[in-house]
Structure 1
Amino acid sequence: MKAIALLLSLQLITVTVCNADEWIQRSDVGGTIGRRQAVAFTINDKAYVGTGSPVFSVGKSFWEYDPLSDTWTQKADLAGDGRENAFAFSTNGKGYVGLGRSDDCCYLDDFWEYDPITNNWTSKSAFPGGSRAAGFAFCIDNKCYVGAGVKGSNFKSDFWEYEPTTDTWAQRANYGGGKVGYLPGFSLNGKGYAGTGYDNTVTLRNDFWEYDPSLNSWSHKTNFPGTVRYGCIAFSIGPFGYLGTGINFDSSFNEIWQYNPSGDEWVQKASYPGDGLGFAVAVSNESYAYVGTGGPIGKQWWQYTPDCTPPINLTTLNITSSSAKLKWEVAAGASKYKVQYKIDSMGAPWIAKTVNAANTSIVINNLLAGAQYKWKVRSICSSEKSAYSPVEKFTTQLRFASAQDQTALLSVYPNPIAQSSIISFIAEENSYLKIELFEANGRSIRTLEEVMLEPGRHEIPFDRDGLSAGIYFLKFTNPSVTETIKIIIE
């Protein structure tokens, strides 16, 4: 009655059209009988499911799932002992399985690497934290982490980092939830997450924790809102994490909860319809999750499609006088994105661009110099579309010309301005320049510079010098053109 369910990055391909927040049953997991307490990981566009407890003994068989054809193919058995409640992860095109509980009730400390190209398993460095089963694992930036778990009645809280390129282990800060087993983990946006399970006092848990590898520290987040439980699954899609199913000492559960790290909040989603409610496995990519096995001897395999949500965290980068890079975060379930932008003036038409889901940015060109633009983006999720994101605004750099149409490019950085900023520009020939500062209502405040420029790059320091927070305009005048650029003082 022990298991681990992991999320790891997966670039799965599917042609199925699904509605948002929906489950669709796929082909049963390979093998003549089902399994529980198994592991799963992903490599490139395939998922791999193996080990676990098929009825009376633990297993070592492995099966590969191809989402494009919805088919299973048997692969090489795990080279080590058969086991249940093992730990698994994948990174850099390889899969890893280790630890767990063997058929003769012994706990293991070995680790094995799977190469899908050769279909072979290779022994790796043993886990230095000692033998155990039923903990959690996840990967962040090609480093993988293993923590918590149990060995008989001895519950664990230690937490370790594995470096695949050197095949070495290093101990990190203990799991924030203490000595716990039978809990899942997942990674999201450069952080790791783990929660639920039960502890060395046989107390069921609903606490939830975030690991920051840059700080090597755990922080307590909002507790999982469902009933306390263990043997859950967990995965992430886009900007959200998901945790659900599982059992307690009396009941099993099928609900799924979505975790939003930006707001540290949970929302209940469509319940899992499969028959493996405890000790299942889960894998995911940026658009879908796949969940299966578990329960008494589960074989079912289900695909989950999340809500079609708009992208978040819009940013504008590499702004020039005629181009800009528009960037956003991955949106769960998106198969492509639709970007619209326009000059920020009444009656100006929106210009639309479509971007494949593999990309989360686009460079737009042929913009007007010194002009304010606004843009927005929506997700397209198979047959559904999200609402548009909130509008993001930016101002292109100013281009001003001499009589011979020589140019100088201008920027103000930083903008918005907290205390001071630098006005920089390039003049390609001798040129007169006057820079004035105006309030938003058009009242002139001061002249910052009035000078003959020599060719080359120029920088002028700007200090708020008692100016109140608000919107101001810098006016640039030379013999050929007059331009303005908006600045914001915080």
Structure 2
Amino acid sequence: MKRYLPHWLLVLAVLCLAGCSKDDSDPAEDILGVWTGRSQFEGLARNAAISFTIGDKAYVGLGTDGTNKFVDFWEYTPATNTWIQKADFPGVGRYLAVGFSAGGKGYVGTGYDGANKLKDFYEYDPAANRWTRKADFGGSARYGAVGLGIAGKGYIGTGFDGNAKKDFWQYDPASDQWTQKPSFGGNKRQGAVAFTLNDKGYLLLGADNGSYQTDVWSYDPVSELWTSHNELINNTDADYDYSALPRANATAFVVGTHGFVALGTNGSTLTSCYEYDPTADTWTQKTAFGGTARTYPVGFGLGDKGYVGLGLSSALRLDDFWQLAPNESPD
């Protein structure tokens, strides 16, 4: 004899199934980004290295393993997922330097050699695989600064020269000259990050006086003005909570028209990653980094992907590299 559930039990079962279905309003369900392990960096494991991109290739080098200060320099090609060693950096080995590209050349300078703060500055020509020393950085010798390229010129600012800094300097490759520009609009800091979007430089994060900084600024090289953006706080009036973003010694990169920040420390090492939309002035959480939490990594964007690797996890130096497809679903 067939048995049938009472009508009220059928209704209850349907309601339970509905309650267990995917909740489209749950923001965790909307987090995008797929991390994939890529070819390990072929040099020794290290942290506080430099990176920049030229064309469809990335360049990574310098840094420290806690004892050695490196001068080796490597080229990465995402299309083949391969590394090839290039000409060694000609200056003293160092870490916490800056690297950026401008006008088809790479530039590296400042940093710390374990005893001295530095201000020497070098140009890398990828076509000739050759380094050339250029005019020393115009500001004081320092480490933990930021560097970026905007519209064919380079910029270095903030950092630590015995005191935290907020000065900002422009480098003109054509004249090999440094010019001081209006100081960074936010607080002094070291361990910040910077990236370039729409011919403007964005500078944020870092620490000063024991506090992780929450301000975000962009610099327009045409008007020479700094503009503040949504602060990285829980702003209930504006209905956003960006309080998880402040950190130091993270990495930043650009994919398409958006900026990204990942990893670093806010008292503990982090795996979180966030995407910045400059048009809306909003931040969106991405899938957490696929590797170990770390500080002092390097990062860069090429094509429609971001890349993050190296760094320091507790006392362990790392040599892994990961690729982020920012708009893919982890499902």
TM-score class normalised by the smaller sequence: 0.7 to 0.9
Q: What is the DSSP-based 3-state SS (H/G/I as helix, E as strand, rest coil) of the residue aligned with 2:112?
A: coil
Of 142, 145, 159, the match for 1:135: 145
Answering whether residue 229 of structure 2 is matched by residue 221 of structure 1, we say: yes
Q: Superposition pairs for residues 153-168 of structure 1, below 5 Å?
A: 154-168=163-177
Distance 1:24 1:34 in 2: 19
Residue 42 of structure 1: CA displacement? 1.2
Match of 1:267 in 2: 284
Q: What is the DSSP-based 3-state SS (H/G/I as helix, E as strand, rest coil) of the residue aligned with 1:56?
A: coil
Distance 1:223 1:297 in 2: 32
Match of 2:191 in 1: 182
Match of 1:243 in 2: 261
Contact 2:250 2:261 in 1 (8 A): yes
Q: What is the DSSP-based 3-state SS (H/G/I as helix, E as strand, rest coil) of the residue aligned with 1:128?
A: coil
Of 75, 78, 97, the match for 2:89: 78
Answering whether residue 180 of structure 2 is matched by residue 171 of structure 1, we say: yes
Residue 285 of structure 1: CA displacement? 2.7
Residue 170 of structure 1: CA displacement? 0.9
Of 50, 55, 65, the match for 1:44: 55
Distance 1:243 1:68 in 2: 23
Contact 1:25 1:301 in 2 (8 A): yes
Match of 1:25 in 2: 37
Q: What is the DSSP-based 3-state SS (H/G/I as helix, E as strand, rest coil) of the residue aligned with 1:35?
A: coil
TM-score, with structure 2 as normaliser: 0.83
What's the % identity of the aligned pairs? 39
Residue 227 of structure 1: CA displacement? 4.7
Match of 1:384 in 2: none
Distance 1:276 1:89, change over 3 A: farther
Distance 1:52 1:107 in 2: 14
Contact 1:275 1:298 in 2 (8 A): no
Higher strand fraction (1 or 2) = 1
Contact 2:270 2:293 in 1 (8 A): no
Q: Which has the higher contact order (CA 8 A, sep 6+)?
A: 2
Distance 1:163 1:234 in 2: 23
Q: Superposition pairs for residues 265-414 of structure 1, below 5 Å?
A: 265-275=282-292, 277-295=294-312, 296-307=316-327
Q: Superposition pairs for residues 390-469 of structure 1, below 5 Å?
A: none
Distance 1:303 1:194 in 2: 23
Q: What is the DSSP-based 3-state SS (H/G/I as helix, E as strand, rest coil) of the residue aligned with 1:121?
A: strand
Match of 1:336 in 2: none
Residue 228 of structure 1: CA displacement? 3.0
Distance 1:67 1:190 in 2: 25
Q: How many residues align?
A: 285
Q: Note the residue ranges of structure 1 that are not aligned, 5 or more in a row.
A: 1-19, 309-380, 382-490
Instruction: Give CA-to-partner distance per residue, 1:360-415, whole Å, 9 cap, x none.
Output: xxxxxxxxxxxxxxxxxxxxx9xxxxxxxxxxxxxxxxxxxxxxxxxxxxxxxxxx
Residue 241 of structure 1 aligns with an amino acid whose one-letter code is G
Match of 2:237 in 1: none
Answering whether residue 132 of structure 2 is matched by residue 122 of structure 1, we say: yes
Instruction: Give CA-to-partner distance per residue, 1:265-298, whole Å, 9 cap, x none.
Output: 1111111112252111111134111111112311
Residue 43 of structure 1: CA displacement? 1.7
Residue 213 of structure 2 aligns with an amino acid whose one-letter code is R
Q: Which segments of structure 1 move beyond 4 Å, counting only runs of 4 or more?
A: none
Residue 83 of structure 1 aligns with an amino acid whose one-letter code is R
Match of 2:8 in 1: none
Distance 1:210 1:120 in 2: 33
Residue 67 of structure 1: CA displacement? 1.2
Residue 211 of structure 2 aligns with an amino acid whose one-letter code is T
Contact 1:155 1:179 in 2 (8 A): yes
Task: Give the alignment's Cα RMSD to 1 decimal.
Answer: 1.6
Distance 1:276 1:97 in 2: 26
Q: What is the DSSP-based 3-state SS (H/G/I as helix, E as strand, rest coil) of the residue aligned with 2:317?
A: coil
Contact 2:102 2:150 in 1 (8 A): no
Contact 2:57 2:302 in 1 (8 A): no
Of 104, 107, 113, the match for 1:102: 113
Of 80, 86, 91, the match for 1:69: 80
Contact 1:276 1:298 in 2 (8 A): no
TM-score, with structure 1 as normaliser: 0.56
Distance 2:64 2:215 in 1: 28
Contact 2:71 2:88 in 1 (8 A): yes
Instruction: Give CA-to-partner distance per residue, 1:226-250, whole Å, 9 cap, x none.
Output: 25320011111122111121013x3
Distance 1:227 1:290, change over 3 A: closer
Q: What is the DSSP-based 3-state SS (H/G/I as helix, E as strand, rest coil) of the residue aligned with 1:174?
A: coil
Match of 2:210 in 1: 202
Residue 202 of structure 1: CA displacement? 2.2
Residue 100 of structure 1 aligns with an amino acid whose one-letter code is G
Residue 62 of structure 1: CA displacement? 0.8
Q: Which has the larger radius of gyration?
A: 1
Q: What is the DSSP-based 3-state SS (H/G/I as helix, E as strand, rest coil) of the residue aligned with 2:139?
A: coil
